[in-house]
């Protein structure tokens, strides 16, 4: 199944069913062995047959990564969480219509991106995206090689801002491809674009963010 | 250059672009900064400190209890 060939996120990051707490296990029907070791495609099949523990496993595998993507798009932690919740609910409701030739997570991300877009369309044009630098940021620790790490942190802030300032249609390709590391094929599929169109947007986005990085580095060198 | 960044060039094409970039005053700096940019962007990848999965599962189960079988298809 394609979902297994391009397992994403990496298998090492997956939460295994056996690692769940007792309350998790009981909410999954108290099965002796869970679906944690199965591929996404198999889980989708089980979920479509009504196995809630299989869908729970899909949520555990993909919710945080989808949240990270949506948060970068919306800039609002509360909104991103709502989008993720809604994306999964819609996925559950529509799982029997999921086309198995696609990967589950690309289908899910597409639902999430569409939901984020729909909500953005309802937001008054004058309302700026809120900026939540801390929502995904790691705690800055400059205790080792402090100068180098401080520089790296400053560059990271510049890049975060440059990504956030991109128009949404350019921000999403850059986030999916360059930040999240999806393949061009996967990212284009999520955005519903042909690969050539996707690449064109990605290239423009990279040039814009590169300009911001160059300007920062030139300032820093002075 | 995009194909180079995305790993879509064969070994010979990569070497040709790299040789050209070593000599070309326009392409060289552009390629180097784009390569650096893609590395830096990958470093932005983060996960939330607190997983959102438990909240998603709780909300999903609550909605299923309230609207069993898909009453929320039109939005909730």
Position B11 pLDDT exceeds 90: yes
Residues of B in contact with A137 (CB under 8 A): 46
Closest residue, chain B, to A55 (C-alpha): B57
Rounded to an integer, what distance in angstroms lies between the CA atom of residue B12 and that of residue B18? 10
Query: Would you place residue A147 in the very low, low, confident or very high pLDDT band (cuts 50, 70, 90)?
Result: confident
Whether A129 shows a pLDDT value over 80: the answer reads no
Look at residue A89 in the predicted model and tell me its pLDDT: 95
Instruction: Tell me the domains of chain A and their CATH numbers.
Output: 1-123 (1.10.1740.10), 142-222 (1.10.10.10)
- The burial class, CB within 10 Å (0-12 / 13-18 / 19+), for A163 is buried
How many whole angstroms separate alpha carbon A105 and alpha carbon B46?
Answer: 18
* B37/A155 touch (CB, cutoff 8 Å), yes or no: no
**pTM, rounded to two decimals:** 0.77
pLDDT at residue A153 in the model: 87
A15 neighbourhood in chain B, CB within 8 Å:
53
**Which of B37, B56, B64 minimises the CB distance to A63?**
B56
CA distance A143 to chain B (A): 19
Q: How many CA atoms lie within 13 A of A37 on its CB side?
A: 3
The whole-number average pLDDT for the span A133-150 is 60
Minimal C-alpha gap between A186 and chain B (Å): 13
**Set of chain A residues whose Cβ sits within 8 Å of the Cβ of B70:** 93
Closest Cα in chain A to B45: A179
Which of the four pLDDT bands, split at 50, 70 and 90, describes residue A143? low
**Residue A136 contacts residue A71 (beta carbons within 8 Å):** yes
Nearest to A178 among B41, B52, B64 (CB): B41
Q: What is the pLDDT of residues A201-217, one digit of tens each?
A: 999 999 999 999 999 98
The answer to whether residue A183 scores a pLDDT higher than 70 is yes
Give chain A's mean pLDDT.
79
CB atoms within 10 A of CB B74: 6
**Chain A / chain B CB contacts < 8 angstroms:** 102
Task: Please state the rounded mean pLDDT for residues A96-100.
Answer: 83
Distance from CA of A182 to the nearest CA of B (A): 11
Task: Quick: pLDDT tens for A24-54.
Answer: 333 333 334 567 788 999 999 999 998 999 9
What SS3 class is residue B70?
Answer: coil
Q: Check B47 against A209: CB less than 8 A apart.
A: no
Averaged pLDDT for residues B10-20: 95
- Nearest Cα residue to A96 out of A41, A42, A54, A49: A49
Report percent pLDDT > 90 for chain A.
58
Question: Which H/E stretch holds residue A68?
Answer: helix A52-74
Tell whether the model's pLDDT for residue A112 goes beyond 90.
yes
Nearest residue in chain B measured CA to CA from A156: B44
């Amino acid at each position: 199944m394609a979902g297994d060939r391009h397992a994403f996120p990496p298998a090492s990051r997956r939460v295994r069913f056996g690692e769940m707490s007792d309350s998790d296990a009981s909410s999954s029907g108290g099965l002796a062995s869970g679906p944690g070791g199965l591929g996404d495609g198999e889980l989708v099949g089980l979920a479509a047959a009504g196995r809630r523990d299989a869908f729970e496993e899909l949520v555990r595998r993909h919710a945080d990564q989808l949240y990270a993507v949506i948060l970068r798009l919306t800039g609002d932690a509360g909104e991103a969480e709502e989008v993720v919740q809604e994306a999964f609910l819609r996925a559950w409701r529509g799982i029997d219509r999921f086309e198995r030739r696609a990967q589950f997570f690309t289908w899910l991300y597409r639902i999430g991106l569409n939901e984020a877009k729909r909500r953005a369309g309802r937001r008054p044009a004058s309302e700026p995206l809120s900026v939540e630098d801390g929502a995904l940021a790691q705690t800055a620790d400059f205790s080792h090689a402090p100068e180098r790490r401080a520089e790296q942190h400053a560059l990271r802030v510049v890049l975060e801002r440059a990504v956030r300032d991109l128009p949404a249609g350019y921000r999403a390709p850059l986030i999916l491809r360059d930040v999240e590391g999806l393949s061009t094929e996967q990212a284009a599929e999520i955005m519903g674009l042909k690969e050539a169109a996707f690449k064109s947007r990605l290239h423009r986005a990279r040039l814009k963010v590169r300009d911001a990085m160059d300007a920062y580095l030139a300032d820093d060198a002075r | 250059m995009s194909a180079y960044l995305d790993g879509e060039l064969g070994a010979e094409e990569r070497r040709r672009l790299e040789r050209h970039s070593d000599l070309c005053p326009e392409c060289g700096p552009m390629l180097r900064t784009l390569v650096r940019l893609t590395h830096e962007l990958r470093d932005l990848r983060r996960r939330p400190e607190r997983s959102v999965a438990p909240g998603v599962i709780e909300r999903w189960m609550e909605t299923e209890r309230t609207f069993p079988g898909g009453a929320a298809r039109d939005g909730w």
